[in-house]
Structure 1
Amino acid sequence: MKKIGFLSFGHWTPTPQSHTRTASDALLQTIDLAVAAEELGADGAYVRVHHFARQLGSPFPLLAAIGARTRRIEIGTAVIDMRYENPLYMAEDAGAADLIARGRLQLGISRGSPEQVIDGWRHFGYRPAEGETDADMARRHAEVFLDILRGEGFARPNPRPMFANPPGLLRIEPHSEGLRERIWWGASSNATAVWAARLGMNLQSSTLKHDENGQPFHVQQAEQIRAFRAAWKAAGHAREPRVSVSRSIFALVDDRDRAYFGRGGEEQDTIGVIDQTRAIFGRGYTAEPDVLIAQLAKDEAIAEADTLLLTVPNQLGVAYNAHVIEAILTHVAPALGWR
């Protein structure tokens, strides 16, 4: 059994070909797609966060709105770039969104990917400390965020407050119990996956990672997952971790699918360079259901993960994206034992 959700970048483009032409369209349609996905029996609604881009950039109002409109589906991010975040203010926002969703938030955070502008986090008021890289700063912000989510008091109360305080040191409010265990780290390397395991974060692994040994993408990703689980066990955490992988998967079941994706896509892994590091980008899957089933059965990383996030072409509209999700849930997942 696997949890199956969707992952949307929330692109919007003011062109006639797009069903998502404004930022308002992107936000409201993401809410509607989450509602539709829940009705179809999907398990998760996740959003990607990018700044300075015509995409979803401010996740917590959106997550709270999805939480208010749904009752069962998990709600998450994949991922929030911690270079841009104030960990304390983020803890307030995350606590509020999780309480609105009644404890369904699954928050993916990371060092982030290359952004639209140079050192965009500087415009948000953040700079690495002396001797730090921007990646070090992101991990430092993440560690502070994790510590705050424990709900322990740390701030000395004012002896003459406007409102009466509880006894002792004060914590960030609102505090949502259990959210600390629902934080995920988006790891692009084996080393950061191991680091995340030691800190007790779940693992999100996307459609790209550092090319560490020249093996096919799904093999390297499966190795990363196994390294994460070994580090988790060595750290002695009491609970079982969760692991998600992302994939672009389209089942060709009607004329619309064939018109949009019938010519195929990236059916082979590709190699590129991210931040001067050799990276491998995983292939997509586009075929009739019986062919998809045979192909996906050979994907070692999907087999290792407990959660699969389907990247969706959000600019094709809510109805079509709901169809994409339904096609996987109906025609593919049962044959693979995911349902």
Structure 2
Amino acid sequence: MRMTKVADPQLSLKPYITAVTLCVGSVWATSAWAQEDVSPGGDGDGEVVREAGPTQSVQNVLREEHALFSDRLTIEPGISYAYSDRSQLALSGFLALDAIFLGEINVDTVSSHITTFDLNFRYGVTERLEFELNFPFLYRSSTYESTGGGGAAEDDPNVEDSVSEAGLGDISASLNYRLLNETAQRPDLVWNVGVRAPTGNDPFGIPTRRVEGSEGNVEIPTELPTGNGVWAVSTGFSVLKTVDPAILFANAGYTYNFEESFGDIDAAEGNQPGDVKLGDSFNLGFGTAFALNERLSLSMSYAHQHSFKSETTQNGVTEEVVGSDANVGTMNFGATYALSDDTSLVTNVAVGLTDDASDLTVSFRMPFQF
């Protein structure tokens, strides 16, 4: 039996890249408040020093890089683009990078493009609790190219074909709870817990088709997935500490994927029912951030995710999916600029450092606070 590699790094990485990028900045609330000193009066009765609200750049860092814990609703549309280009692939029935490969496949080059439009909602229920909801919509396109598709590279021209897919991704929701506020001795500590629903198209049982002109030597999927196909829960912690004029932070989290049953988990003709247990994943990250002025802030971080091997069960027999584990490492560079008191522009560039990561990811977000 040939089986899909069910841990798609590009589909599953985005939450963790976001989680790592969202780790930066909560302690700005304690170090970068705009303070206003009031001089004592002539009668000896002076007013105490009082704190004004945080500057707009600090609020942007809190909202985008961590949790603002504000009682105002934030609606945040965003768009991200991820590109991968891999060469000399010789695969046999598993999901590699960002494309489904089912059956005997021999592809020299795969170029993949994933554009994600998402709408994010945030609301601070209390001064310690924040709720978040995310609705993603994906457009994916992969181009497959093989040299010598007819079986002899010196005699046959290159063959090339593309597959594209658009649809709703996996909807997710999460809660952030501040366990400890930062003091001079301890960092800010936040605990988060989330759930992901399998609302996108799952990657199981997708058939393949032969590329025209390849004489059957090259097969590609007929469609691409937009989701992981299973329910998942995640939890993690992040710590942040002010070291003026910078913020140091680190975070770690774990995602558990529930086992699910599917009517077809193989590309072979006919239905091949079975159970799929996607490999759980562990993620960690660290970095720093700077608020340069009242409107502009910059951040830099590293994110890493390790996905364990997946398992399939058919006719009572459980097997590991060969090649389904992955290591995804990215370096992230971000900037946030306040356009007004209620609207900001957030940009981020992520560069892949491992083979399983996207080569390049660029994202733009524009949060509106009400």
For this structure pair, what is the TM-score category when the shorter chain's length is used for normalisation?
under 0.3
* Pair member with larger Rg: 2
Higher-helix-fraction structure: 1
TM-score by length of 2: 0.26
Higher-strand-fraction structure: 2
